[in-house]
Structure 1
Amino acid sequence: MKRTISKLLLTAGIAAVMLSACSKVPEESKYIPKEAGVVLELNAKQISQKLITNGLTMDKLMEAAQSKDTASKITKAWKDAANSGVDLSSNFFMSVVLGDDKNAYVEINGSLTDAAKFEAYLKANLKSYDLKTGKDFKFTYDTESHGLITWNNKAVIYLRHLNTNRLNDIPGYMDKPADEGAEADTAAAAAAVVSPVAAVTTDLPESAAALVTTADHLYHMKENETAGSLEPFKKLLKENADMGFFFNVQAMMNSNAAGMTALPGNFKKLMEGSFATGTANFEKGKILVNTNSYMGKEMLAIFKKYGNKEIDISMLEKYPSDNVTGFISYAFDFHMIGEIIKSTGTDGLVNMMLSQRSGLTMDDLLNAFDGQLVYVASDFQIERKPNPYFDGDTIEKPNAKWIFNMKVANKDAFNKVMSSPMFTGMLVKQGDKYVLASPELAASFPAMSLTEKSVTLGSDSVLLDQYLAGKGQIKLPEGVASKAKGATLAGYLDIAKLAKTIPTEKADEDERPLLIRAQNLFKDMTFSAHKISGDVQTGEIVLNFKDQDKNSLVQLVEFGTEAAKLAQAKKDKRAKQEAADKAAEDSLYGAIPMDSAVTR
Structure 2
Amino acid sequence: MKKSISKVLLAAVTSAVMLSSCSKTPDESRYIPKTAGVVVDLNAKQLTTKLVTNGITMDKLFEATQSKDTSNEVMKAWKDAENSGIDMQSHFFASFVFQGQPAEHKSYISLTASLKDADKFEAYLKKNIANFSLKTQNDFKYIWEEKQHAVIGWNKSAVIYISAVDPSNLEKYNPGGSSSPDYGDPSEPMIDSATAVTDSAMAIPAALTTAEDDAQIKTWVAEVDHLFHLKKDETAGSIEPFAKLLKEDADAGIFVNPEAIYNSGQFTMIPANVKKLMEGSFYTGTVNFENGKIVFNGHSYMGKELAAIYKKYGKKEIDMDMLNKYPSQNITGFISYAFDFRMIGDIVKATGMDGMVNLMMGKSGLSMDDVLNAFEGQLTYVASDFAITKKESPYFPGEFTEKPDAKWIFSLKVGNKDAFNKIMTSPMLKEVFTREGDHYTVVNPMAAATMPAMSINEKFVTLGSDSALLQEYLGGKGHIKLPDGIEGKIKGSMLGGYVDLEKVTAVIPEDKMDEDEKPVAKKAKELLKDVTFVSKADGGDVQHGEAVLTFKNKDQNSLVQLINLGTEAAKVMQARKAKEKAYEDSLFAAPVDTTVVAPQ
Instruction: Say whether residues 1:224 and 2:233 are aligned partners.
Output: yes
Aligned partner of 1:261 in structure 2 is: 268
Of all paired residues, the percent bearing the same amino acid is 56
Aligned partner of 2:525 in structure 1 is: 519
Q: Give per-residue Cα distances to partners, 1:102-145, cap 9 Å, x unaligned.
A: 32211111111122222232333334543333333233333333
Moved more, 247-256 or 67-76: 67-76
Aligned partner of 1:186 in structure 2 is: none
Q: Give per-residue Cα distances to partners, 1:226-252, cap 9 Å, x unaligned.
A: 101101101111111111111112222
Contact kept, 8 Å, 1:285 with 1:548, in 2: the verdict is yes
Paired residue type of 2:113:
G
Paired residue type of 1:321:
S
Aligned partner of 1:146 in structure 2 is: 149
Aligned partner of 1:457 in structure 2 is: 463
What TM-score comes out, normalization by structure 2 length?
Answer: 0.88
Q: Give per-residue Cα distances to partners, 1:305-364, cap 9 Å, x unaligned.
A: 22520010110111111111111110000110011111112222322332x212222221
Q: Give per-residue Cα distances to partners, 1:134-163, cap 9 Å, x unaligned.
A: 333233333333333222222122222121
Aligned partner of 2:558 in structure 1 is: 552
Moved more, 4-13 or 431-440: 4-13
Paired residue type of 1:29:
S
Paired residue type of 1:440:
M
**Distance in 1 of aligned mates of 2:338 and 2:470:** 22
Going from structure 1 to structure 2, the CA distance change for 1:336 and 1:177 (only over 3 Å counts) comes to: closer
How is 1:269-308 mapped onto 2 (pairs within 5 angstroms)? 269-306=276-313, 308=315
**Distance in 2 of aligned mates of 1:488 and 1:19:** 35
Going from structure 1 to structure 2, the CA distance change for 1:365 and 1:19 (only over 3 Å counts) comes to: closer
Aligned partner of 1:163 in structure 2 is: 166
Instruction: Say whether residues 1:51 and 2:51 are aligned partners.
Output: yes
**Distance in 2 of aligned mates of 1:223 and 1:209:** 25
Paired residue type of 1:265:
A
SS at match of 1:481: helix
Moved more, 236-245 or 155-164: 155-164
The partner residue of 1:132 within 125, 135, 139 is 135
The partner residue of 1:108 within 96, 108, 111 is 111
Aligned partner of 2:353 in structure 1 is: 346
How is 1:556-571 mapped onto 2 (pairs within 5 angstroms)? 556-571=562-577
Q: Give per-residue Cα distances to partners, 1:533-562, cap 9 Å, x unaligned.
A: 143211111000010111111111111222
Q: Give per-residue Cα distances to partners, 1:453-483, cap 9 Å, x unaligned.
A: 0111111111111111111111111111112
- Offset of residue 223 of structure 1: 1.2
Aligned partner of 2:7 in structure 1 is: 7
How is 1:71-470 mapped onto 2 (pairs within 5 angstroms)? 72-99=72-99, 100-101=101-102, 102-127=105-130, 129-170=132-173, 172=175, 176=179, 204=213, 207-257=216-266, 260-306=267-313, 308-354=315-361, 356-388=362-394, 390-470=396-476
Going from structure 1 to structure 2, the CA distance change for 1:5 and 1:493 (only over 3 Å counts) comes to: farther
**Distance in 2 of aligned mates of 1:204 and 1:44:** 35
Going from structure 1 to structure 2, the CA distance change for 1:135 and 1:2 (only over 3 Å counts) comes to: same
Going from structure 1 to structure 2, the CA distance change for 1:178 and 1:505 (only over 3 Å counts) comes to: closer
Contact kept, 8 Å, 1:145 with 1:177, in 2: the verdict is no
SS at match of 1:559: helix
**Distance in 2 of aligned mates of 1:301 and 1:26:** 34
State the superposition RMSD in angstroms. 2.8
- Offset of residue 400 of structure 1: 1.3
**Distance in 1 of aligned mates of 2:128 and 2:397:** 61
**Distance in 1 of aligned mates of 2:500 and 2:231:** 49
Contact kept, 8 Å, 1:402 with 1:458, in 2: the verdict is yes
Moved more, 65-74 or 400-409: 65-74
**Distance in 1 of aligned mates of 2:16 and 2:419:** 59
**Distance in 2 of aligned mates of 1:402 and 1:329:** 13
Aligned partner of 2:584 in structure 1 is: 578
SS at match of 1:424: coil
SS at match of 1:38: strand
Q: Give per-residue Cα distances to partners, 1:78-109, cap 9 Å, x unaligned.
A: 11111111100100011112224232211111
**Distance in 1 of aligned mates of 2:138 and 2:167:** 29
Paired residue type of 1:57:
T
Contact kept, 8 Å, 1:18 with 1:51, in 2: the verdict is no
SS at match of 1:256: coil
Contact kept, 8 Å, 1:490 with 1:527, in 2: the verdict is yes
In structure 1, runs of 5+ residues without a counterpart are: 180-199, 590-600
Going from structure 1 to structure 2, the CA distance change for 1:263 and 1:331 (only over 3 Å counts) comes to: same
Aligned residues: 566
Aligned partner of 2:516 in structure 1 is: 510
**Distance in 2 of aligned mates of 1:17 and 1:317:** 40
Contact kept, 8 Å, 1:31 with 1:221, in 2: the verdict is yes
Contact kept, 8 Å, 1:36 with 1:251, in 2: the verdict is yes
**Distance in 2 of aligned mates of 1:173 and 1:104:** 21
SS at match of 2:559: helix
Contact kept, 8 Å, 1:493 with 1:524, in 2: the verdict is yes
Paired residue type of 1:244:
G
In structure 2, runs of 5+ residues without a counterpart are: 183-208, 596-600
**Distance in 2 of aligned mates of 1:131 and 1:379:** 66
Instruction: Say whether residues 1:27 and 2:27 are aligned partners.
Output: yes
**Distance in 2 of aligned mates of 1:13 and 1:562:** 23
SS at match of 2:480: coil
Going from structure 1 to structure 2, the CA distance change for 1:417 and 1:174 (only over 3 Å counts) comes to: closer
Contact kept, 8 Å, 2:25 with 2:246, in 1: the verdict is no
- Offset of residue 7 of structure 1: 3.2
Going from structure 1 to structure 2, the CA distance change for 1:478 and 1:555 (only over 3 Å counts) comes to: same
Moved more, 146-155 or 360-369: 146-155
**Distance in 1 of aligned mates of 2:457 and 2:107:** 52
- Offset of residue 290 of structure 1: 1.5
- Offset of residue 65 of structure 1: 3.8
What TM-score comes out, normalization by structure 1 length?
Answer: 0.88
Moved more, 398-407 or 298-307: 298-307
